[in-house]
Amino acid sequence: MSVPSTTPRPVAANSVWPRLEPLLPQVTKPIQYVGGELGAVVKDWAAATVRWALMYPDAYEVGLPNQGVQILYEVLNELPDVLAERTYAVWPDLEKLMRAHGVPQFTVDAHRPVRDFDLFGVSFATELGYTNLLTAIDLAGIPLLAADRTDADPVIVAGGHAAFNPEPIADFIDAAVLGDGEEAVLEITTIVREWKAEGRPGGRDELLLRLARTESVYVPRFYDVDYLPDGRIQRVVPNRADVPFRVHKRTTMDLDAWPYPRKPLVPLAETVHERYAVEIFRGCTRGCRFCQAGMITRPVRERSITTVGQMVQQGLEFSGFHEVGLLSLSSADHSEIGDMCSGLAEQYQGTNVSLSLPSTRVDAFNIELAQELSRNGRRTGLTFAPEGGSERIRRVINKMVSKDDLIRTVVTAYTNGWRQVKLYFMCGLPTETDADVLEIADMAHEVIKAGRAATGSKDIRCTVSIGGFVPKPHTPFQWAAMERPEVIDGRLKLLKQAINADRSLGRAIGFRYHDGEPSLIEGLLSRGDRRVGAVIRRVWENGGRFDGWSEHFSYQRWVDAAAETLPAFGVDLDWYTTRERDELEVLPWDHLDSGLDKDWLWQDWQDALSEYEQDDCRWTPCFDCGVCPAMDTEIQIGPTGRKLLPLTPVNGLKLPTGAQQ
């Protein structure tokens, strides 16, 4: 038998593949570095005028499903003269081998060195990816500090929610984009294309200046931070004549005009989400005071039911996924969610396609939706997020749900056949006492008692899941003090005891928690200023990697690095985390405009302390948070009154064009 001839894998001219391949048998899950997924795009390097490397700074299994990176990857690759490839954080085993063999940070698409690209875009959903950013920059052979880079290095652009305060990584990035990325990457591409066509006048400095002049790209090097003797910031001012005092966030309006992803990536290695995800709306005005996402993505912009239906149909046909996730910050709030769920359930009845609504609020309407979604037999878990244990603390955080509502909702779920519900809470919220947290135990006990009474069965369970609160920039809680990890851990211990105080009820209640130490570090990074960059660098030099993974995260390494670096600036870890700020303090992100009026945020913080609730502007008059007038945007919601039509089933095989016989 002769060896069959197979198509050789195309190897790009600047590919590191020949050097990378021999290392792969020596590392765990080598498939994650191979690329070539369905939906992946490899373009001719020489034919492209602007080249982007896009990174999600976590492992492939977490990074690949990221919606933001997939959208930008597709939007950029649709342009004929633009090339975009993806890169992810490599695990320490491969990092070590790459250093030993001189293999640089590479893209998974064509295995090209990241340093060869014009732009290196990094999307931060969480601040815990900062050390992975440093690994990638260093492995790429790019100078760690933006100030040391030359025209031979790509421009490093940060995006994602953490980019609303990029000050802790200001020394390491060249630019940051606040807000929606679709139009921002196109604008940046245009600027780079023109600058290159003109023969790169003025080099890197001129390019960064052109980006800064858009007023929506923040270039940290063009701003100086002055400090007061007590360590607080005195002011942040431009150090160049023609850069704006404030940089504004981007808002993409009319989501129907941006129906991405159209060609979702289908991973080769196992990933955390394997589904076709479609955003049904962006923004949220529920006004939960701890929620940064809800504050920085205003106003609400819905995607219409018909566009969602079309995207689902095309996305499934392209990818072959069996699960559809209808994403948003609070999916049941879409004005046509009922028709959307029943329409999709109808269309996919009798197939293997299941639907899920990841973020939902606590009310009985959700049970109806969940019934629709489980038509194909797969009954996914139900999660409700009261967030706070007592009515009082829920008024503080503006999470308007009463205990009675919650119990009624959960009991409805039990009587409709669900055996298990998950309740999500936070610990360490502003003004919180032990008593507030202990009420979670009462709530869980009552849920089980009512559930047993309603179903006549002992076979029902609930899980209490609780995490530490982290105050975030651009929220009313940006001034709040964090609780110390010992206090958090003490409350969690008390709560556990209280849940198990009744042995019969306690047996039906699962308890999951995250301890307080990682939250404190997340708090340092989320509200940090440029001085925190020294801590990040020290942690990274001492081996800090993958800080979002509990098995890699070392609290002690962060505490030690903070103790070594911060005293030189007259501040310390507590100063950044457990200290309450006052109204007039200049916050590190005050020059970055999320549209929210700082006076309104302060008023909402005062309302939180006096336990005053704030309604949603979708159903009550505008309360002047400031976003719409500042950003020239408006609420875009339905109902459109349209319905999803039955699908004509697609039969047979999906063949490439021209291969039909």
Partner 1 sequence: MAFSQGFTPHPKISYASAAPTGVASEAEYLEIGLREPVDPAQLQVALDNALSPGLDVLDAVVAAGGSLADRIGASRWRMELPEVAPAVLAQAVAAFTEAEEVLVERMTKQGRRTFDSRGAVVSIDVDEGSATPSVASAVPCAILEMVVRQVTPSVRPDDVLSGLRVVAGLEPPVAPKVIRLAQGTLTAQGVIVDPLDADRDGAAIGGR
* Footprint of partner 1 (CB under 8 A): 1, 3-10, 22, 24-26, 30, 34-38, 40, 268, 320, 352, 377-378, 652-656, 659, 661
d(CA 528, CA 546): 19
Nearer to partner 1, 239 or 661 (CB): 661
Residue 112 or residue 491: which is nearer to partner 1 going by CB?
A: 112
Nearer to partner 1, 22 or 639 (CB): 22
Closest CA to 576 of 291, 232, 236: 232
Give the separation between CA 340 and CA 282, rounded to whole angstroms.
16
Structure tokens at 253: 């309006």
When the beta carbons of 8 and 102 are compared against partner 1, the nearer one is 8
Indicate the residue among 216 and 356 with the shorter CB distance to partner 1: 356
CA distances in angstroms from 267 to 143, 252, 274, 275, 327, listed in the order given: 31, 28, 8, 10, 19
Taking the complex as a whole, the smallest distance from the CB of residue 654 to partner 1 amounts, in Å, to 6
Q: Nearest-5° angle of CA 613, CA 615, CA 621?
A: 135
Instruction: State in angstroms the smallest separation of the CB of 40 from partner 1.
Output: 8
Q: Which residue's structure tokens are 């591409």?
A: 189
Stated as kind and residue range, the H or E segment containing 539 is helix 532-541
* Beta carbon nearer to partner 1, 34 or 630: 34
Please state the closest distance from residue 62 (CB atom) to partner 1, in A.
21
Distances from the Cα of 293 to the Cα of 68, 272, 289, 474, 623, angstroms: 14, 21, 10, 9, 19
Task: Indicate the residue among 320 and 570 with the shorter CB distance to partner 1.
Answer: 320
Cβ proximity to partner 1, 378 vs 403, nearer residue: 378
Nearest of 494, 391, 372 to residue 438 by alpha carbon? 494
For partner 1, the closer of residues 5 and 239 by Cβ is 5
At residue 529, φ and ψ (nearest 5 deg) are -115, -165
Closest distance of CB 320 from partner 1, Å: 7
The distance of closest approach from Cβ of residue 22 to partner 1 in the complex, given in angstroms and rounded to an integer, is 7
> Closer CB to partner 1, residue 10 or residue 80?
10
How does DSSP assign 171-237, residue by residue?
TT-SEEE-B--HHHHHHHHHHHHHHHHTT-TTHHHHHHHHHHTTSSEE-GGGEEEEE-TTSSEEEEE
3-state secondary structure of 263: coil
Compute the least distance from the CB of residue 416 to partner 1, in Å.
Answer: 17
Least Å distance between CB 25 and partner 1?
3
Q: Which long-range contacts (CB under 8 A, 24 or more apart) does 345-350 make?
A: 345/372, 345/373, 345/375, 345/376, 346/644, 346/646, 347/309, 347/313, 347/644, 347/646, 347/647, 348/376, 349/375, 349/376, 350/376
Rounded CA separation 595/112 (Å): 38
Q: How far is the CB of 31 from partner 1 (least distance, A)?
A: 8
Task: For the CB of residue 352, give the shortest distance to partner 1 in the complex, in Å.
Answer: 6
Could you give the 3-state DSSP secondary structure of residue 414?
helix
State the minimum distance, in angstroms, from the CB of residue 7 to partner 1. Answer: 6
Residue 299, preceding peptide bond in cis (omega within 30° of 0): yes
- In terms of DSSP bridges, do strands 420-427 and 247-248 run parallel, antiparallel, or are they unpaired? unpaired
